């Protein structure tokens, strides 16, 4: 079956491609301005319909890559990539070629070279040291640029070149959201406080993710709520036996926020083991509105408590749907 969603060619860690079918139907319709505040691989922002789409990520080299794709023809992008692969003789096994390109990239910072590097790097991670040098090791035998990467890249370029897309590389705290109104929508997929990603270890020359950033984000979301702008926040409430207490406290303080349960796509047998060990991850999408999907499909979101389940407005809406 052909996937209706564009998939990021970056194989982004924490990318939401696999769960788009669950989260996009939970978004409001007829969005004026959509902001993907932590855009990462762009899996969400590029698959949403809105009059204007803003992708933001503080990883400036990532946004530079998107700008390069936006401003150059598909043909010239592909030509550059193939030229680099041939010049450095890149393959699943040529570590020396990979390291030579890495040195070249750190001297020149050509955004398309970053993409080639990431295609051949360990777990496709985008990782920099404090001097802003790309330092991810070689993805020996596992990572390469292949026909499926190229097909994803071509679709991705088509989407990025839609003229309603704007790109920013700001720290989310500096992104002014006060201009947004009731038909605008902010999606947040930040690093998760209780899981470990390369972007929340603070070791890549960019801000890490700690309780301080988490609080600042929750505060920003409350401000959006006060100005009647809809938001959705992806996160995990539990992971490997750990709980995100800060998030739970915030939910208790804001009884109008809705917790929508997201089923994780576990295809490996490990899942059963995880469930048995109570190590499973509880992934959620928190919204400050009642998603229409629930109204139409007779589904209940995962309510925080039974009081919310008895919310009169909610039941009125269900009756009239
Ligand atoms: C979970 S990833 C987003 C994945 C994305 N939704 C996707 O589907 O591809 C989180 C992103 O937040 C970015 N990030 C981390 N700290 C940030 C900050 N302070 N401001 C803006 N972006 C930040 C990281 O660079 C990373 O790309």
- Mutate-to-test residue for ligand 1 from 9, 22, 40, 193, highest number of ligand atoms within 8 A of CB: 40
| 8 Cβ inside 6 Å of ligand 1 | yes
Q: Which fold has domain 20-58+170-320?
A: Rossmann fold (3.40.50)
pLDDT for the residue 310: 35
CA of 91 to the centre of ligand 1 (A): 29
Closest C-alpha residue for ligand 1 atom 12: 38
- The CATH class for the domain spanning 64-156 reads mainly alpha
Mutation test of ligand 1: which of 199, 233, 285 has the most ligand atoms closer than 8 Å to its C-beta? 199
Least confident of 21-25, 50-54, 241-245, 301-305: 301-305
Alpha carbon distance 17, 295 (integer Å): 24
- Alpha-carbon distance 272 to 279, whole Å? 10
182/230 Cα distance (integer angstroms)? 7
For residue 235 and ligand 1, the question of a CB distance below 6 A is answered with: no
Distance of alpha carbon 264 from alpha carbon 195, whole angstroms: 15
Does any ligand 1 atom lie closer than 6 A to the CB of residue 191?
Answer: yes
* Residue 320 alpha carbon to ligand 1 centre in Å: 38
Report the C-alpha gap between 74 and 97 in whole angstroms.
25
Lowest model confidence (mean pLDDT) among 42-46, 110-114, 128-132, 144-148: 128-132
**Percentage of the chain modeled with pLDDT above 90:** 77
CA 153/CA 6 separation, integer angstroms = 9
Per-residue pLDDT of 139-150, as tens digits, reads 999 999 999 999
Ligand 1 touching residue 16 (CB < 6 A): yes
Whether residue 37 contacts residue 234, with contact meaning beta carbons closer than 8 Å, is answered with no
d(CA 55, CA 182): 19
pLDDT number for residue 292: 87
CA distance 240 to 96: 38
* DSSP-based three-state secondary structure for 115: helix
Mean pLDDT, range 178-198, rounded to an integer: 92
Query: Residues of 41-58 as b/e, b for ≥16 C-beta within 10 angstroms?
Result: bbbbbbbbebeebbbbbb
Q: How far, in Å, from the CA of 172 to the mean position of ligand 1?
A: 9
CA dihedral 12, 15, 19, 22 (to 10 degrees): -140
Would you say 217 and 190 are in contact if contact means Cβ atoms under 8 Å apart?
A: yes
Say yes or no: CB of residue 190 within 6 Å of ligand 1: yes
| Burial degree of 194 (CB within 10 A; 0-12, 13-18, 19+) | buried
Of 125, 72, 69, 79, the C-alpha closest to 102 is: 125
d(CA 290, CA 321): 12
The overall pTM is greater than 0.75:
yes
Q: Determine whether 226 is exposed, middle or buried from the number of CB atoms within 10 Å of its CB (0-12, 13-18, 19+).
A: exposed
- Closest by Cα among 161, 193, 190 to 175: 190
Chain length of the chain = 321
Q: How far is the CA of 57 from the centre of ligand 1 (A)?
A: 6
Q: Angle at CA 173, nearest 5°, toward 167 and 179?
A: 65
Q: Which of 8, 16, 47, 57 for mutating ligand 1's site (highest number of atoms within 8 Å of CB)?
A: 57
* Inter-residue contact 186 to 229 (CB < 8 Å): yes
| Ligand 1 centroid to residue 204 C-alpha, Å | 13
> Do residues 210 and 165 lie in contact, with contact meaning Cβ atoms separated by under 8 Å?
no
**In a 3-state reduction of DSSP, which class is residue 298?**
coil
Q: Which two tokens stand for residue 64?
A: 């530079």
Q: Most distant CA pair in the chain: distance in Å?
A: 66
In this predicted structure, the answer to whether residue 120 has a pLDDT above a threshold of 80 is yes
Token reading at 253: 């303080």
Q: Residues 257-270: pLDDT tens digits?
A: 999 999 975 444 34
Distances (CA, A) of 217 to 56, 72, 98, 175, 201: 14, 34, 37, 11, 17
Q: Which has the minimum average pLDDT: 62-71, 76-85, 111-120, 264-273?
A: 264-273
- Of 58, 66, 215, the one to substitute when testing ligand 1's pocket (max ligand atoms within 8 A of C-beta) is 58
Q: Where along the chain do the CATH 1.10.1020.10 domains lie?
A: 64-156
Q: How far is CA 252 from each of CA 26, 195, 231, 268, 282, rounded to the nearest angstrom? A: 21, 22, 17, 34, 17
Instruction: Give residue 8's pLDDT.
Output: 97
Q: Where in the chain is the domain with CATH 3.40.50.150?
A: 20-58+170-320
Q: What is the mean pLDDT of the chain?
A: 88
């Amino acid at each position: 079956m052909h996937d209706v969603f564009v998939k990021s060619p970056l194989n982004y860690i924490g990318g939401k491609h696999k769960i788009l079918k669950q989260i996009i139907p939970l978004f409001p319709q007829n969005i004026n301005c959509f902001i993907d505040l932590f855009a990462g691989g762009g899996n969400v922002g590029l698959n949403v319909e809105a009059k204007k789409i803003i992708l933001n990520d503080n990883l400036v080299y990532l946004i530079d890559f998107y700008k390069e794709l936006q401003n150059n023809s598909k043909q010239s992008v592909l030509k550059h990539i193939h030229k680099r692969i041939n010049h450095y003789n890149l393959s699943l096994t040529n570590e020396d070629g990979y390291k030579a390109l890495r040195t070249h990239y750190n001297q020149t910072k050509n955004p398309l070279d970053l993409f080639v590097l990431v295609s051949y790097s360990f777990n496709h991670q985008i990782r920099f040291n404090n001097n802003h040098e790309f330092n991810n090791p070689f993805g020996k035998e596992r990572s390469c640029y292949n026909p499926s990467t190229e097909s994803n890249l071509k679709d991705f370029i088509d989407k990025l070149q839609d003229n309603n897309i704007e790109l920013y590389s700001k720290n989310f705290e500096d992104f002014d959201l006060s201009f947004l109104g009731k038909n605008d929508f902010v999606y947040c997929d930040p690093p998760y406080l209780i899981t470990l990603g390369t972007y929340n270890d603070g070791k890549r020359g960019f801000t890490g993710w700690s309780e301080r950033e988490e609080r600042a984000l929750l505060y920003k979301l409350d401000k959006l709520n006060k100005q009647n702008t809809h938001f959705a926040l992806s996160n995990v409430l539990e992971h490997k036996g750990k709980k995100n207490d800060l998030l739970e406290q915030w939910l208790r303080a804001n009884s109008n926020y809705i917790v929508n349960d997201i089923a994780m796509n576990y295809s490996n047998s490990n899942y059963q083991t995880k469930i048995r060990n109570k190590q499973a991850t509880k992934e959620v999408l928190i919204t400050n509105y009642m998603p229409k999907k629930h109204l139409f499909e007779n589904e209940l979101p995962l309510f925080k408590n039974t009081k919310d389940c008895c919310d009169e407005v909610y039941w009125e809406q269900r009756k009239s749907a």
